[in-house]
Amino acid sequence: MQPTDRSTPALRWLLPALAWAAGVLGMVAAWLAVSLALRSPAGWLAVVAAADLALMLRLAATPPGRARALAATVGTAVAVLASYWIYAASLMGMTLGLRPMESALRMGPVLAGELLRHATTGWDLAWALLALPLAWRLAR
């Protein structure tokens, strides 16, 4: 067996995993920047997150099928939840003089839920719910 044949199974999952992580973290960073600039939760970015995750997994040569679709859907859900959490934390942190990540680590789920309940509209939630099947469809 050649050395390149042994390394192939390890690289088969490594590049898609790194692409998934880069897609989620990059989308959360972009979402936070847009949300703070617009001073709104910017729920429409959930659709952008779905397209971004599907594209990242395709570019990483993840084999098509249910596994790639599930990875894109889960990544979209993680990006949406993390973005909303950090947006709520940044709202709270600004009033207390904390950075967004310091505030995110200190904030509990009840406070985050209340802040998001007052900051989001029905459209923000509709965009998030639309993004999940879109991620599945685009990644298949």
Q: Burial of 132 by CB count in 10 Å (0-12 exposed, 13-18 middle, 19+ buried)?
A: middle
- Give CA–CA dist 77/79, Å, rounded: 5
pLDDT in tens, 56-94: 999 998 889 999 999 999 999 999 999 999 999 998 898
Rounded to whole angstroms, the Cα distance separating 73 from 122 reads 21
Tokens for 124? Answer: 């923000």
The reported pTM is: 0.87
What single letter denotes the amino acid at residue 14? L
* 33-54: pLDDT as tens digits: 999 999 999 999 999 999 999 9
